[in-house]
Structure 1
Amino acid sequence: MDALKPQRNEPARMERLAKLPVFWGLEGKRVVLAGGSEGAAWKAELLLACGAEVHVYCSKGDLSETFAALVARNSCLNIHDQPWHPGIFENAELALADCETDVEAEAFYSAARGAGVPVNVIDKPEFCQFQFGSIVNRSPVVVSISTDGAAPILAQAIRRRIETLLPLSLKDWGALAQTIRERANRRLAPGPARRSFWEKFVDRAFTERLDEDTEERLLADIATQAGRREPAGGRVTLVGAGPGDAELLTLKAVRALQAADVILFDDLVSAEVLELARREAKRMLVGKRGGRESCKQEDINDMMIRLAKAGKRVVRLKSGDPMIFGRAGEEIAALEAENIPVEIVPGITAASAMASRLGVSLTHRDHAQSVRFVTGHSRQGKLPENIDWKSLSNPSITTVFYMGGRTAAGIQSSLLAHGMPASTPVAIMISVSRLNERRWCGSLEQLAAAIERLGVNEPVLIGIGDAFGVASPAVSGLGTEGSVAAPVQRAG
């Protein structure tokens, strides 16, 4: 099984964090706050919402209008009509201040640090041990967004988007989860049965309204799961990862990644796609790449079968669409022969991403009457022998060759030999939708030379036909023989 050893460093389960997001329990804890400004009032309101015992040190005459109104309606706010002093930090859980000058901010910061109390000086990040994020409140579900102080407006924009995604009823579902959690975990052993129950719970939380019978139905589900004698079997989901850009994943693909126990991923799957996977999932590189040492398909099939029979939820993560040149048929047959459930989650295939990035329609009615996807790489590493070149030589047929970099010269000569005009438009895209994306546009007679200059170390797509006549890159790089764009920044 040596072929199944990782061929590159496994992506980190967690990319670098600017700050550690921590949710701090403040119920009944003493928190000191120096200052009576508008900013201080907002922090006081936030702390009160967490159940903190807030002690404010500020002359009452210096309280802002907002802060004074907050004091009037909150009897649990403790107002100390005096400036702050080093003695206020005793038994404090946190210390906050709104200071006008850096000198005062440094003094407060140093005094709090000296007392061993975590400190935040409002709007002065150099005097903050912790920061407040932009909050989406569906308590007990709480989402906090931070940009490490670099772009508060961006954090607010993200918060507004999340607000639209999380129904207000999530608050009640979260409370219900707290109510039944202990009973569910006591009846359901860790593993597939417990996870199945909670995954169904989550599905309901986003699709159903709570009513007076909801809790009773959930408790019945717990009893049903607990009564099953046979452990739940594993399953395999073939998931299309798309061409590379994580934003092109389907929602169903993300959900599959979030539910996986094990992820067997191809070499071309991007790190940003893997970042969306469940943190606890074991990730194993089993990819195949032209011209490189790779795993045998039989070994991959055996691994999926073994893991599924062990009760694991396996995601076979494939670049593009698993049903297009992804050898999915062989994997499905192997799994079905072992009576292992298999589900398919389609992905955006590279040709569709190519058309989108070039701004062309593969089936423009003025240029193309059909479109074909053709592999440029057989099991023997050369062009397949059964390609119908006469049919493909019609420029009104849009043809996209996958994995055709190393066979580009053969593609060019075969099409020319079967009557395709040398002037037929051609587009080449390398690493489509990724940060290192490059593109070339020219004619069929320039194809082989263009590939030789571009190289074949990254995934190559070759589009041929009149539909590509409107495609043109922004930057010239190959002179009169065609043009090549420099790496293109993705939209969005």
Structure 2
Amino acid sequence: MGVLQKLPNEPTPRTAARVEPLAKLPVFWTLEGRRVLVAGGTDGAAWKAELAAACGATVHVFAEELGETFAKLVAAGVSHPKGQFLHERQSWESCDFDGLALAIGDLEEDDEAEAFARAARAAGVPVNVIDKPAYCDFQFGSIINRSPVVVAVSTDGAAPILAQAIRRRIETLLPPSIRLWASLAQSIRDTVNARLQPGAPRRAFWEAFVDRAFRDAPGADAEADLQEQLSRSSRPQEPPVGRVTLVGAGPGDAEYLTLKAVRALQAADVILFDDLVSDEVLELARREAKRMLVGKRGGRTSCRQEDINQMMVTFAKAGKRVVRLKSGDPMIFGRAGEEIACLERAAIPVDVVPGITAASAMAARLGISLTHRDHAQSVRFVTGHSRSGNLPADVDWKALSDARTTTIFYMGGRTAPEIRQRLLAEGMTARTPVVIVSAVSRANERRWIGNLDTVANGMEEIGLDEPVLIGIGSVFGDAQERDRNALPEQSRKRNSARA
């Protein structure tokens, strides 16, 4: 008998919020030519002072004595032409806060830290006392410096080591040459704004720029090439025709998105998304993009395919970059063929960004190879219902009953009893392993493991509220042992049921 497994995490409610709650507002502060006060001569104070001076600030250091690191730093100066240190060999006073941009202190005693913070706030100066969050108006993040590109990571003080680990990951994604491209962007920005209209023409120029920035280091003729590209872009042209990109959102977990999918979401003007696309995926989209839910969920009222096609054509002819965001992979049971044909008839450029299909995610979650050479020489993805909602009439059930084939039924929840009946009639053994997974990769994922004979019981326990995959074949024989190791309590229940 199969056993229902409900994973411990609860699903995240779907909301209409465009921005999730923030622990702190990330702000990049201009300090060039302004004054910053640093109290203390420690290594920690030296690091904060160096950051401020590198931004062009005049840093007033109040400390009767400086540690070795700070003393060497003050003696050497800084590389920024306008940043400098002024060592005040005395303790700070309230009058020293007048006209400051920031105040930073490394103060060991709480009473001194409290007095420092009170004096700064009385003067209207944002304050940070190192390692004493109660006296901080702002915090320093873990910094990735590709100036003028600057990235800062914060965990709101909860896990500085985690912030450092995230910084290292981002460091590997940002080539050192990105600073050169950013400087080029600064040099031509005003010219671009003057010569190209806001909206699609300007964004198309910058998107081409970004593609180059992440591909190659700029050569000596890079600026000349950009100026030529700008000249071509500013010449009178026909009204722009947009394009449509069919993007696979994967089964739900946003970390399954490809880099190309994220780039498409960040460039979109309009996003037409299915009901199965998760909020976490939408959170990665461009904030200004118009988002439209177009349904497309099995067994429920949804937007007609003809209406979706017309929306894509209308938006694209208006010059918009449209993303048709589909759960899983667009080319697997996603009606992508109909949409591509419609767009081609309307002369709308269309491309496709593949996504991780649900069957692949299910196999990864279970740790099962769908084509394990000891069990299966082929794998088939089969739709579990036709347009009428019944089993498709033209399925080769004899081929699907082959013991050397792994079969994954998509959208087969309602037809599971008929699937069982057809396969048994073609000679498949009743003890053939079966796995049913609903909401694969999501927080509310559920699993049932059993055999072909009891698959209808499994569907009764799993239910039809979420998308369901039914995996049938001997490759799933190891799933029970794997889940016994991962979920010992559930395994004990399974063993008890079988006993």
| TM-score range normalised by the length of the shorter chain | over 0.9
Once residues 295 and 345 of structure 1 are traced to their aligned partners in structure 2, the CA distance between those partners, rounded to angstroms, is: 22
SS of equivalent to 1:255: helix
1:391 to partner: Cα distance: 1.9
The residue number in structure 1 matching 2:460 is 452
1:289 to partner: Cα distance: 1.5
Deviations along 1:161-213, whole A, 9 cap, x unmatched?
11111111111111111111111111111122111111111111122222221
Which stretches in structure 1 are left out of the alignment for 5+ residues? 1-7, 484-492
1:141 to 124, 128, 149: 149
2:17 to 12, 23, 26: 12
Question: What is the Cα-based RMSD across aligned positions, in Å?
Answer: 1.6
Task: Kindly provide the amino acid, as one letter, of the partner of residue 411 in structure 2.
Answer: M
Which stretches in structure 2 are left out of the alignment for 5+ residues? 1-12, 79-83
The residue number in structure 2 matching 1:49 is 54
Alpha-carbon contact 1:119-1:129 (below 8 Å) kept:
yes
Once residues 271 and 247 of structure 1 are traced to their aligned partners in structure 2, the CA distance between those partners, rounded to angstroms, is: 12
Matches within 5 A, 1:5-154: 11-59=16-64, 62-74=65-77, 76-154=84-162
SS of equivalent to 1:264: strand
Matches within 5 A, 1:149-188: 149-188=157-196
Once residues 427 and 284 of structure 1 are traced to their aligned partners in structure 2, the CA distance between those partners, rounded to angstroms, is: 34
Task: Kindly provide the amino acid, as one letter, of the partner of residue 289 in structure 2.
Answer: A
Return the TM-score normalized by structure 2: 0.92
Deviations along 1:80-100, whole A, 9 cap, x unmatched?
111111111101111111111
The residue number in structure 2 matching 1:204 is 212
The residue number in structure 1 matching 2:10 is none
Once residues 61 and 20 of structure 2 are traced to their aligned partners in structure 1, the CA distance between those partners, rounded to angstroms, is: 39
1:279 counterpart = 2:275 = no
The residue number in structure 2 matching 1:5 is none
1:290 to partner: Cα distance: 2.2
Alpha-carbon contact 2:249-2:355 (below 8 Å) kept:
yes
1:482 to partner: Cα distance: 7.4
The residue number in structure 2 matching 1:315 is 323
Once residues 104 and 231 of structure 1 are traced to their aligned partners in structure 2, the CA distance between those partners, rounded to angstroms, is: 66
Alpha-carbon contact 1:396-1:467 (below 8 Å) kept:
no
2:370 to 362, 385, 410: 362
Once residues 215 and 301 of structure 2 are traced to their aligned partners in structure 1, the CA distance between those partners, rounded to angstroms, is: 46
Alpha-carbon contact 2:295-2:301 (below 8 Å) kept:
no
The residue number in structure 1 matching 2:3 is none
1:427 to partner: Cα distance: 0.8
SS of equivalent to 1:100: coil
Once residues 81 and 333 of structure 1 are traced to their aligned partners in structure 2, the CA distance between those partners, rounded to angstroms, is: 77
Task: Kindly provide the amino acid, as one letter, of the partner of residue 88 in structure 1.
Answer: D
Task: Kindly provide the amino acid, as one letter, of the partner of residue 26 in structure 2.
Answer: P
SS of equivalent to 2:441: coil
Alpha-carbon contact 2:382-2:409 (below 8 Å) kept:
yes
The residue number in structure 2 matching 1:244 is 252
SS of equivalent to 2:214: helix
The residue number in structure 2 matching 1:299 is 307
Task: Kindly provide the amino acid, as one letter, of the partner of residue 62 in structure 2.
Answer: Y
Deviations along 1:94-143, whole A, 9 cap, x unmatched?
11111111111111111111111111111111111100000011111000
Segments of 4+ moved more than 3 angstroms: 8-11, 477-483
Alpha-carbon contact 1:27-1:50 (below 8 Å) kept:
yes
SS of equivalent to 2:436: strand
Alpha-carbon contact 1:236-1:341 (below 8 Å) kept:
yes
The residue number in structure 1 matching 2:269 is 261
**CA gap 1:482/1:393 in 2 versus in 1, 3 angstroms:** farther
Matches within 5 A, 1:366-385: 366-385=374-393
1:454 to partner: Cα distance: 1.7
1:397 counterpart = 2:405 = yes
Deviations along 1:231-284, whole A, 9 cap, x unmatched?
321000000111111111111111111111111111111111111111111111
Task: Kindly provide the amino acid, as one letter, of the partner of residue 23 in structure 1.
Answer: F
The residue number in structure 2 matching 1:408 is 416
Once residues 11 and 204 of structure 1 are traced to their aligned partners in structure 2, the CA distance between those partners, rounded to angstroms, is: 35
- Name which structure has the greater RCO, CA cutoff 8 Å, separation 6+: 2
The residue number in structure 2 matching 1:489 is none
Alpha-carbon contact 1:146-1:155 (below 8 Å) kept:
yes
1:430 to partner: Cα distance: 1.3
The residue number in structure 1 matching 2:81 is none
Moved more, 389-398 or 342-351: 389-398
Once residues 340 and 17 of structure 2 are traced to their aligned partners in structure 1, the CA distance between those partners, rounded to angstroms, is: 30
Once residues 299 and 34 of structure 1 are traced to their aligned partners in structure 2, the CA distance between those partners, rounded to angstroms, is: 65
Alpha-carbon contact 1:322-1:328 (below 8 Å) kept:
yes
Task: Kindly provide the amino acid, as one letter, of the partner of residue 49 in structure 1.
Answer: A
* Identity percentage of aligned residues: 67
Alpha-carbon contact 1:446-1:482 (below 8 Å) kept:
no
1:16 to partner: Cα distance: 1.2
Once residues 63 and 459 of structure 1 are traced to their aligned partners in structure 2, the CA distance between those partners, rounded to angstroms, is: 64
Alpha-carbon contact 2:141-2:154 (below 8 Å) kept:
yes
Once residues 32 and 461 of structure 2 are traced to their aligned partners in structure 1, the CA distance between those partners, rounded to angstroms, is: 65
Once residues 386 and 377 of structure 2 are traced to their aligned partners in structure 1, the CA distance between those partners, rounded to angstroms, is: 27
The residue number in structure 1 matching 2:339 is 331
Task: Kindly provide the amino acid, as one letter, of the partner of residue 66 in structure 1.
Answer: T
SS of equivalent to 1:77: strand
Alpha-carbon contact 1:446-1:481 (below 8 Å) kept:
no
The residue number in structure 2 matching 1:3 is none
1:452 to partner: Cα distance: 0.3
Once residues 209 and 133 of structure 2 are traced to their aligned partners in structure 1, the CA distance between those partners, rounded to angstroms, is: 40
Matches within 5 A, 1:412-423: 412-423=420-431
**CA gap 1:320/1:382 in 2 versus in 1, 3 angstroms:** same
Moved more, 287-296 or 330-339: 287-296
Deviations along 1:281-339, whole A, 9 cap, x unmatched?
11111121123221111111111110000000000000000110001111111111111
1:480 to partner: Cα distance: 6.0
1:45 to partner: Cα distance: 0.3
